[in-house]
Chains A and B, each alone.
Chain A
């Protein structure tokens, strides 16, 4: 970790105060991350971590109850309820009947505790019956609450999603949730910077999900520990906001503290007119400020990596860690290839858990379940992509496939386009929004031994249900696997009916 010490704290404070807007006072080329960081430095006490201001905290039912309890015990208030929003996503059942009457009493109590906490501390809650409820990382952007240049935290590791807007967004633990509720700040050591440029044109059938799976496969699940990644390059710039969110979402799976992408016209077009986006003159001013954020030419990064987009393919994870990925055209790799003894043991253990043998071709692996959804791939564009594959076909007889929109707004928009009909006609189960089978805290879980093609972010042992086996793929690959009953190379898929949106 890098620590910036100032000999004269008072002087550095003075500079910041007079040079407002902060972060613009020096001519040294700066990275996107450095600009956002510097603008949020409250104080840099000598020999201590920087105190960083937090623009927005997102709260959900699972990681917040102990934080609110801590506030109560200390007699503290929420410092900025206007910079805090809450929703329910992790626990909520994805059937209408299930949501109205939550059978799991422990889950029900956690949800009612959040309601009480939000009422007591004056926090806006997007509750189960709200038309804007959804996965916290889906609703922040779609409401226009997430904005470029912000610092955003949430008691959830996939907070990195919001970095797609050029925000510095990262997951925190419950003690830190309490700290931010009480002070709207966090003591932070300055992370390192890691620029990953994906250059060139993505081949047909290769998606944002494949970009991030390829990156994790290449650098490993601890490849970016202690770093904030900036994703750059022509392939990243050509992604939609949804695609950028998919990439930033899984930064944590590469060990990164956060992932960021410079805001540009794509970002501004996405944000314009959203409920909490600035309006009128304030919008023009905001765009002018946000446009200053991209890394300056010549800005120095601690590490850099360039990836050739044209060389990327559709990927499938085969093991119990997101770094265990391979091209769909490949076979399950051999543990003998592991670098050392401990790695080999983990490798063998993963194959045993997954009930796979080295050398088996992915296209020969039958599946039992398909999950399309999550904060990684539960947005409208993801559902459109999956529907295009499923249109005019039927889910394989031995597969149960479900689609869980990321939010109520995603669900409504998809239904307006008729995507729900395409899915239902093909035999997919069309559900209510939430985290669902990404982590299986609600009733949506795998049974022991079941094998699932999933658009989520983690293939850990038991993640989707004890004994369940998760393979991470793109929405297109998941939809195709549902139809075929096994993994298929989406690049060879024949689309039967064009989905018009």
Chain B
């Protein structure tokens, strides 16, 4: 996983609430067995007509936001299905950070496993950033994970909360299995006792 320190980039405004993972990556692309190559399918149904023509007024097709690494969206981003393909698609497309008032739990976890920083800001702050990104040409944001801040060059500055362990893993680009196996001895001991609980056996 790529470590996340500070990202400065054009910010893309997606002024929709409850953006669900079915929209982020529609079902037909979940049949693949690969972990890469989902960027082309990000927001597929919003990006192009059934005939394959680009939908011009959808923000991903707007040349002003080309190469954006930061996405700004409405509340409850990533709700619905547990598909990690949503995080893979955002990451593969080039996003390193999503800013929204709230995120769904499973998506929150999936994003973290793929080096995407999710920034929760107050609804008023997100509204302000959405407006700025829509109205100010070339509008850029800087997200510093170390400092836990979002800033622009217009005087906007907000700080955000993040779990300290999650922050550590994102800063260092660490994934979990290796970290868990540091506790292998405790796990062996726990599991031996736990297996005695026959009423919790699967089969």
Query: Which A residues lie at the B interface, using CB under 8 A?
Result: 1, 3, 13, 17, 20-21, 40, 42-43, 45, 47-49, 51, 53, 55-56, 62-63, 65-66, 69, 74, 76, 82-85, 90-91, 104, 106-107, 109-110, 113, 124, 145, 147-150, 155-157, 170-176, 178-179, 182-185, 187, 189, 221-222, 225-226, 252, 255, 257, 276, 278, 282, 285-286, 289-290, 321, 323, 340, 342-343, 345-346, 349, 439-441, 448, 458, 460-463, 466-467
B145 to chain A, nearest CB (A): 17
Are A222 and B31 in touch, CB under 8 angstroms? no
Is B54's beta carbon under 8 Å from chain A? no
Q: Is the CB of B109 within 8 A of A176?
A: yes
Q: Whose C-beta in chain B lies nearest to the C-beta of A65?
A: B33
Q: Which residue of B lies closest to A114 (CB)?
A: B33
Instruction: Please give 5 more A-B residue pairs, beta carbons under 8 A apart, in addition to A66-B34, A109-B31.
Output: A43-B186, A55-B200, A82-B202, A83-B201, A173-B113
Asked if B164 is at the interface (CB within 8 A of a chain A CB), the reply is yes
B110 to chain A, nearest CB (A): 4
* Interface bin, chain B: 35 or more
B183, A42: Cβ atoms closer than 8 Å: yes
Give the interface segment out of B2-10, B11-19, B148-156.
B11-19
Contact: B84 with A63, CB < 8 Å?
yes
6 tightest A-B CB contacts, nearest first? A286-B199, A173-B84, A173-B110, A65-B33, A175-B113, A171-B82
Residue of A nearest to B114 (CB): A175
With contact pairs A74-B177, A91-B31, A441-B28 given, residues A185 and B23 touching in the complex (Cβ less than 8 Å)? no
Output the nearest chain B residue to A340 by Cβ-Cβ distance: B123
Which residue of B23, B165, B203 contacts A48 across the interface (Cβ within 8 Å)?
A: B165
Is the beta-carbon distance between B164 and A47 smaller than 8 angstroms? yes
CB distance A440 to B79 under 8 Å?
no
Contacts of B20 in A (CB 8 A): 321, 458, 460
CB distance from A43 to the nearest CB of B (A): 5
**Cβ-neighbour of A321 out of B18, B103, B181, B186 (below 8 A):** B18
Give A69 to B33 CA distance when docked, in angstroms: 9
Using Cβ atoms and an 8 Å threshold, which residues of chain B touch A83? 201-202
Q: Beta-carbon contacts of B62-97 to A below 8 Å, as 1s and 0s?
A: 000000000000111001111110010000000000
A interface footprint on B148-188 (CB within 8 Å = 1, 0 otherwise): 00000000000000011100000000011101110100110
Contacts A62-B30, A441-B28, A458-B80 given: A85-B202 contact, CB under 8 Å?
Answer: yes
Question: When the two chains form their complex, are residues A255 and B202 in contact, meaning their CB atoms are under 8 A apart?
Answer: no
CB distance from A23 to the nearest CB of B (A): 11
B residues contacting A by CB (< 8 A) are 15-18, 20, 22-23, 26-28, 30-35, 45, 50, 74-76, 79-84, 87, 102-106, 109-110, 113-114, 123, 127, 163-165, 175-177, 179-181, 183, 186-187, 189-191, 193-194, 196-203
**Chain A residues with CB below 8 A from B50, complex form:** 448, 466-467
The interface residues of chain B lying within 8 Å CB-to-CB of A448 are 50
Q: Which residue of B lies closest to A255 (CB)?
A: B104
Query: Do A104 and B31 have beta carbons less than 8 Å apart?
Result: yes
Q: How far is the CA of A458 from the CA of B84 in the complex (A)?
A: 18
Q: Cα distance A155–B85 when bound, in Å?
A: 11
Residues from chain B with Cβ under 8 Å of A463 in the complex: 22
B contact residues around A40 at 8 Å (CB): 194
Interface-central residue, B26, B83, B183, B201, by most chain A CB under 10 Å:
B201
Q: What are 23 of the A-B contact pairs (CB < 8 Å)?
A: A17-B193, A45-B183, A53-B190, A55-B200, A62-B31, A62-B83, A63-B83, A66-B34, A82-B203, A83-B202, A110-B32, A156-B81, A157-B80, A172-B82, A174-B110, A175-B84, A183-B181, A221-B79, A321-B18, A342-B15, A441-B28, A461-B22, A467-B50
Total A-B Cβ pairs within 8 A? 217
Distance of B119 from chain A, by nearest CB (Å): 16
CA of A55 to CA of B30, assembled, Å = 27
Using known A-B contacts A222-B104, A255-B105, determine if residue A175 contacts B110 with beta carbons closer than 8 Å. Answer: yes
| Given A174-B84, A460-B20, CB of A42 within 8 Å of CB of B199 | no
Question: Which of A43, A45, A461 is B23 in contact with, Cβ under 8 Å?
Answer: A461
Knowing A42-B183, A172-B109, the reply to whether A276 touches B35 (Cβ < 8 A) is no
Asked if residues B203 and A221 are in contact (CB atoms below 8 Å), the reply is no
Cα-based distance from A499 to B102 in the complex (angstroms): 47
| Residues on the A chain within 8 Å of B87, using CB | 173
Q: Which of chain B's residues has its CB closest to A45's CB? A: B183
Q: Known contacts being A48-B165, A145-B203, A343-B17, is A175 close to B175, with CB within 8 Å?
A: yes
Given contacts A42-B183, A441-B31, contact A349 B190 (CB under 8 A): no
The answer to whether B23 touches A110, judged by C-beta atoms less than 8 angstroms apart, is: no
CA distance A45 to B168 in the complex (A): 14
* Contact between B110 and A440, CB atoms less than 8 A apart: no
| CB of A151 to closest CB in B, whole Å | 8
| Residues of chain B within 8 A of A285, CB atoms compared | 198-199
| Given A42-B186, A441-B30, residue A278 in contact with residue B199 (CB < 8 A) | yes
Contact indicator A276/B202 (Cβ below 8 Å): yes
Instruction: Report whether B106 and A172 are in contact in the complex, using a CB–CB cutoff of 8 Å.
Output: yes
A159 CB → nearest B CB, Å: 8
CB distance from B162 to the nearest CB of A (A): 11
A25 to nearest B CB, angstroms? 14
Check A460–B23 contact: CB distance below 8 A: yes
Known: A82-B203, A171-B106. A221 touches B113 (CB 8 A): no
Q: Please state if A173 and B83 are interface contacts (CB–CB under 8 Å).
A: yes
Chain A residues closer than 8 Å to B110, beta-carbon distance: 173-176
Q: For the complex, what is the distance from the CA of A76 to the CA of B177, rounded to whole Å?
A: 10
Q: How far is the CA of A65 from the CA of B127 in the complex (A)?
A: 39
- A155 CA / B83 CA spacing, docked (Å): 7
Give the distance to chain B from A223, nearest Cβ to Cβ, in Å: 10
Pick from B76, B176, B198: contact of A179, CB under 8 Å: B176
Give the distance in Å from the alpha carbon of A124 to the alpha carbon of B203 in the complex.
Answer: 11
Q: Return chain B residues, CB-CB under 8 Å to A462.
A: 22-23, 26, 45
Of all chain A residues, the one with the shortest Cβ separation from B183 is A43
